[in-house]
Structure formats: structure tokens, C-alpha cells
Amino acid sequence: MTEPSQSEAPLVEALRAYRERHTAAFHTPGHKLGAGAPADLSDALGERFLTADMGIANGLDDTQESGGLLRRAEDLAAQAWGAERAFFVPNGSSGGLQTLVMAVAGPGDEVIVPRNAHKSLLAGLILGGALPVYVEPTVDDDWQVAVNVPLEAFVAAIEAHPRARAVFVTSPSYNGFCADVPGLAAAAHAAGLPLVVDQAWGAHLRFSPALPIDAMAAGADAAVVSVHKLLAGLSQASVVLARGGRIDVDRLRTMVTMLRTTSPLAAIYLSIDAARRQMVEGGEALWGEALRLAALARTRLAATTGIVVLDRDDALRSGSVDFDPVRLTISAADLDLAGYELERRLRADHAVAVEAADAHNIVANITFGDSAGTVDRLVVALETIAADADAGLAERTRARAAAGGAPEAGGGKKAASAASPTLPFFTRLACSPREAFFGPAEALPLSACVGRVSAEMVVPYPPGIPVLGPGEEISAETVGYLAAAARGALVQGPRDLSLATLRVVTRPG
């Protein structure tokens, strides 16, 4: 076989060949390249998409995978993202993180993890039985978002836990904050530990020098990237990246094959192949344009009364070493609009859909898929909402003044944020997440849970960062936070999604 070249996309080319040969399909799925699909499915997805719906081993490749198509595409991805080995994973970075945590640690092994890690990492700890050593991120009080774990906190945890098996870090964060990954790689390596980076939001970093440094260039031993988040991968498309030495790549491969489906949608993997080639060939120019559009949006929104956009200065002030400007964290708290309400108005009144909303902010992504026109839609919608809300606020203030009342509270992000509780700190781990999750438990009213050990994880979504995990002692602060969270956020994890009750570990005897 010839040496792989970045100008090829083996899976894309294999699909073309399959079509050109008018292959007769006697393999899954049962709709047979769309011929047997219900009309509404063909209508919704397009007949052409269905003709691409097949597996790899028995569709694009033969059943023995003798063409080695997937491996060839993965090797090209490894080269492009600076790794020795890459694995395509069809269950997003969630699946990738679970795979990685179980590849580096077994039952009872300690792993150092940021408290603000994505819930899938905690799921990996529950499934695999490893023990988290949590390190706390700093929190930006103005924006009410977790920033990064300071390097010193990681170093202290590494020193205090000489038996730990790996260090995990999330970078960039959901809001674009970048951790000191080079510093952390050096600290982990000095202790002989691998550094694994959740780079779900950073698949693009490697392809433009104008963006923050990417995990593999910064010295990480493994990383996971969501190709579907900011690149052109189809939803679910992620890649696990690794280099050998501190990571047992053969064990990682075993874990990948244990956890990934035997029938991935070939189109998902094919989209990774195409997105990788697109980035290698033109990533720098594409991201140059996206950065220009993001800067344009930021300038226009800075001139909009009542709208504030989190910027690089905010990130550096709150302890990040770098910032990804294509993530726009936007607040209208100065206009007394919660993030949820801002998102609702954008969607309902302006047909603008953003990535996420929480009690305080919304997050919008700008990529090379945007144009001056799409950025204008977002900016004009926010300008309109801000002007309406500003007029309403002024009207209410006038009415109160006429009635002799005090001026309305608000007028600043801090004032608005103070109304809701701050993120609670981790308390202590009373037993392993796995024991607490699978052991005997009982449901208690939320207020009666203080001092007990949680048997469930509670995750406001988005951004999907657990506030509480199984095995953790429940504090009064956590109960207060959850009682407030239940009023606004969508919550995942507990059996009682209303959070009226919570399952706690049954006390012995």
C-alpha cells in the first residue's frame, strides 16, 4: 500500500467507488441504500444521504477490512492532529472520554480530574470504578462560569497523590478559556503521569497559528476532539488521539473496540475524513475568516447598550492563559434578562438558535460556516432585543420613581448574578462513585440530604458539568444550588428530574 497522503480521504473515495460500481447491497441497514425507506425518512434526509448509509466493515470495505480503509483514515487523522495513533469514535467526545478514562485507570485507581470536567468523565469513573481526585477550577464571579484549574492546584494534587494514574484537564472550556496545558504536561510528566486533555471544543486549534496552542503540540499524551462541534464533522463525530510512552496504546485500542459500536454510520467517519482534509488544505484561511467575523460581531455587540460579550481580557483576568475568541459568551443581565430568556427570545422572535443558555449567559459559536450575513442576523437580533428590553427597563424605572419607590435593582452583571447561588465547592468523597451508584440507596427530600452521601450525579445541562457526583458528601451549599437549579436548568442524572428528592447512599445498620 502507498504511503498515506493528506490530500486523500480514503473513506470519501471508497464511497464514491461503491456508488460508481452500482454495488448490490446484501448488508445492513435493511432499507438497502434507501430503496426500502419510508417516504418521510427519504424526504427528511434526502435519498442521496440514504445511499451513503452503510457500515465500514461490510459496506465501504469488505468484511475482513482488507482494504484497511478505517485504519488509513485514522492514520491520516493522527498525522494531522499531531498524534501517533487516532481512533474515530462515533459516540462523540463523551464516548471518547469514557474510553480514555477506562484505558488509563482501573477499579480503585486514582485519577486527577478537574471538578468542572464534562459529565461523561464522571460516567467513565462510575463504569470503570476509578477514584477521582478533584481539583477545583476558579470561578469568574462576574460571568458565573468555571474558568480553569490553576496549575498550582494540579501540582499540589500530583504531589499529594503519588499513586495517581493520570491527570485529566479540560481545555478549551465551554466558554473558550484555555488552561496552561504545556505547564501541566511538564508537571504531569515530571511525576511520570500521562496528561489527557478533553479538547472537545478545540478540534480546530491545530489548524491556525492565530488560535491557542492545541493539546498534542502542548505535550499531551492523549486527547479527544469533537470534530462535530466546531469543524465540519457530522454530529457525534469525535477522534481519540494518543502517543505511546506514558499511554498504553494497545490497551487504549482494546478499550475503543470494547466501547464503540460494531455498526457505525459510515457517514460519520467519512465526515471526519473530509473535515480533516479540509482543515489540512485550507484550515488557516478558513479560521482566519471565522476570526475576522467573530471580531466583527464582538465590535458591534460592544456598541450595543445592555449586551456584554466575554472577551480575552476577562479570560486572562480570571486566570486563563489563552482564549478562543470564536466562542461568544453573551450576557444581557444588565437588562435583567436571564440567559434562558435571551435564548428564548432569539429563537422565538428572530429564528436565531444559539449553542447554549444558562441562568446568566448564552453561548454562540462562530465558524468558517458563517458569513457576514449570518453574523448580522445574530447581532441585529440581539440589538433589537436589547433596545426593547432597555425601553421596558426605563419605563419600569420611571413608573417606580413616579410612585416614589427606590430605583430598580440590576444595572450590572454582578447585581443580576447575586440573585442566584454561586457554584458549590466539592466536599469530600465518602466512597467510590461506582460503589455509591450501584450500592443500596434511598430517595430523600432534597432538604433532608445535607450531610448524606449522594448515590446519583446531578448535571445541569448545558454545559453538562456535574454539580454533584455519586460518593460525594452533600453540603448545604449544594442543596441550595440544586434547589435554585431546579427552577431553570434542564437537569440530567438523577431519577427524580424535578429534584424534589435525591437518592442517597443507605446508611449501614
Can you give the binding site for ligand PLP, defined by CB under 6 A?
A: 92-94, 118, 120, 170, 174, 198, 200-201, 226, 238, 463-464
Q: Kindly tell me which of 59 and 114 has the beta carbon lying closer to ligand PLP.
A: 114
Report how far residue 428's alpha carbon sits from residue 474's, in angstroms, rounded to the nearest whole number: 9
What the block records as the C-alpha cell of 422 is 454561586
Cβ-based neighbour number of residue 321 at 10 Å: 18
Q: Kindly tell me which of 150 and 480 has the beta carbon lying closer to ligand PLP.
A: 150
Helices (H), 46-115: 47-50, 69-80, 92-104
CB 124 to ligand PLP: min, Å: 11
Report how far residue 135's alpha carbon sits from residue 233's, in angstroms, rounded to the nearest whole number: 32
The separation between CA 391 and the C-alpha centre of its own chain, rounded to angstroms, equals 36
Q: Kindly tell me which of 18 and 323 has the beta carbon lying closer to ligand PLP.
A: 323
Q: Which residue has the cell 453573551?
A: 330
Q: Kindly tell me which of 263 and 492 has the beta carbon lying closer to ligand PLP.
A: 492
Q: What element of type H or E holds 195? A: strand 195-198
Q: Kindly tell me which of 462 and 480 has the beta carbon lying closer to ligand PLP.
A: 462
Q: Comparing C-alpha atoms, which of 451, 421, 453 is closest to residue 439? A: 453
Buried b (16+ CB within 10 A) or exposed e, 74-104: bbbbbbbbbbbbbbbbbbbbbbbbbbbbbbb
> Residue 61: what residue type?
D
DSSP, collapsed to helix, strand or coil, labels residue 503 as: strand
Residue nearest to ligand PLP (CB): 92
CB 321 to ligand PLP: min, Å: 17
Are 143 and 204 contacting, i.e. CB atoms less than 8 angstroms apart?
no
CB 357 to ligand PLP: min, Å: 14
CB 192 to ligand PLP: min, Å: 26
Residue 439 Rama label (left phi>0; alpha psi -120 to 50; beta): beta
Report how far residue 74's alpha carbon sits from residue 203's, in angstroms, rounded to the nearest whole number: 15
